[in-house]
Amino acid sequence: MTTFVDRVELHVAAGNGGHGCASVHREKFKPLGGPDGGNGGRGGDVILTVEQSVTTLLDYHHSPHRKATNGKPGEGGNRAGKDGQDLILPVPDGTVVLDKAGNVLADLVGQGTSYIAAQGGRGGLGNAALSSARRKAPGFALLGVPGELQDVVLELKTVADVALVGYPSAGKSSLISVLSAAKPKIADYPFTTLVPNLGVVTAGSTVYTIADVPGLIPGASQGKGLGLEFLRHVERCSVLVHVLDTATLESDRDPLSDLDIIEEELRQYGGLDNRPRIVVLNKIDVPDGKDLAEMVRPDLEARGYRVFEVSAVAHIGLRELSFALGELVGKARAAKPKEEATRIVIRPKAVDDAGFTVTREGTDAEPLFRVRGEKPERWVRQTDFNNDEAVGYLADRLNRLGVEEKLMKAGARGGDGVAIGPEENAVVFDWEPSVTAGAEMLGRRGEDHRFEAPRPAAQRRRDRDAERDEAGREFDDFEPF
Ligand SMILES: Nc1nc2c(ncn2[C@@H]2O[C@H](COP(=O)(O)OP(=O)(O)OP(=O)(O)O)[C@@H](O)[C@H]2O)c(=O)[nH]1
Ligand SMILES: [Mg+2]
Per-residue pLDDT tens for 169-185? 999 999 999 998 888 88
Strands of the sheet with 87-91, listed across from one edge:
87-91, 46-50, 114-118, 344-345
Cβ-contact 278, 244 below 8 angstroms: no
| Angle, CA of 279, 285 and 286, to the nearest 5° | 100
Q: Which of 156, 187, 216 is the last residue of a domain?
A: 156
Does one domain contain both 147 and 182? no
Is residue 60, in this structure, part of any structural domain at all?
Answer: yes
Q: How many CA atoms lie within 13 A of 364 on its CB side?
A: 0
Does one domain contain both 313 and 201? yes
Distance CA 432, CA 445 (A): 12
What residue numbers bound the domain in which 117 lies? 1-156
Q: How many CB atoms lie within 10 A of CB 348?
A: 6
Does one domain contain both 29 and 170? no
Q: What is the mean pLDDT of the chain?
A: 83
Distance CA 132, CA 301 (A): 81
Q: Which ligand is nearest to the CA of 214?
A: 1
Instruction: With 0.85 as the threshold, say if the pTM is over it.
Output: no
Is residue 28, in this structure, part of any structural domain at all?
Answer: yes
Is residue 289, in this structure, part of any structural domain at all?
Answer: yes
Going by alpha carbons, the residue nearest to atom 21 of ligand 1 is 169
Given a cut of 80, whether residue 445 has pLDDT beyond it is no
CATH assignment of the domain containing 284 = 3.40.50.300
Is residue 319, in this structure, part of any structural domain at all?
Answer: yes
Going by alpha carbons, the residue nearest to atom 27 of ligand 1 is 188
- Cα 463 to middle of ligand 2, angstroms: 78
Q: How many domains does the chain have?
A: 3
Does one domain contain both 131 and 174? no
Is residue 271, in this structure, part of any structural domain at all?
Answer: yes
The pLDDT of 194-209, averaged and rounded, is: 84
In sequence order, the 6+-apart residues with CB closer than 8 A to the CB of 37 are 20, 21, 22, 23, 74, 75, 76, 78, 126, 127, 128, 141
* pLDDT for the residue numbered 14: 97
The pLDDT of 207-235, averaged and rounded, is: 80
Does one domain contain both 404 and 291? no
Does one domain contain both 120 and 205? no
Q: Which ligand is nearest to the CA of 246?
A: 1
Distance CA 9, CA 57 (A): 10
Of 10-14, 24-28, 210-214, where does mean pLDDT reach its minimum? 24-28
Does one domain contain both 182 and 323? yes
Given a cut of 90, whether residue 69 has pLDDT beyond it is yes
CATH assignment of the domain containing 429 = 3.30.300.350
Does one domain contain both 9 and 45? yes
Q: What are the pocket residues of ligand 1 if the criterion is a CB atom closer than 6 Å to any ligand atom?
A: 166, 168-174, 186-188, 190-193, 212, 214-215, 247, 282-283, 285-286, 311-313
- Cα 299 to middle of ligand 1, angstroms: 24
- Cα 142 to middle of ligand 1, angstroms: 67
Is residue 448, in this structure, part of any structural domain at all?
Answer: no
Is residue 451, in this structure, part of any structural domain at all?
Answer: no
Is residue 2, in this structure, part of any structural domain at all?
Answer: yes
Does one domain contain both 172 and 82? no
* pLDDT for the residue numbered 49: 95
Distance CA 140, CA 447 (A): 10
- Cα 35 to middle of ligand 2, angstroms: 71
Given a cut of 60, whether residue 52 has pLDDT beyond it is yes
Does one domain contain both 100 and 195? no
Does one domain contain both 74 and 197? no
Q: Which of 141, 156, 171 is the last residue of a domain?
A: 156
Does one domain contain both 330 and 363? no
Residue 32 backbone phi and psi in degrees, to 5: -115, 60
**Residue 374 backbone class (left: φ over 0; alpha: ψ -120 to 50; beta: rest):** alpha
- Residue 362 marked in a binding site: no
pLDDT tens-digit map of 86-104? 999 999 888 999 999 988 8
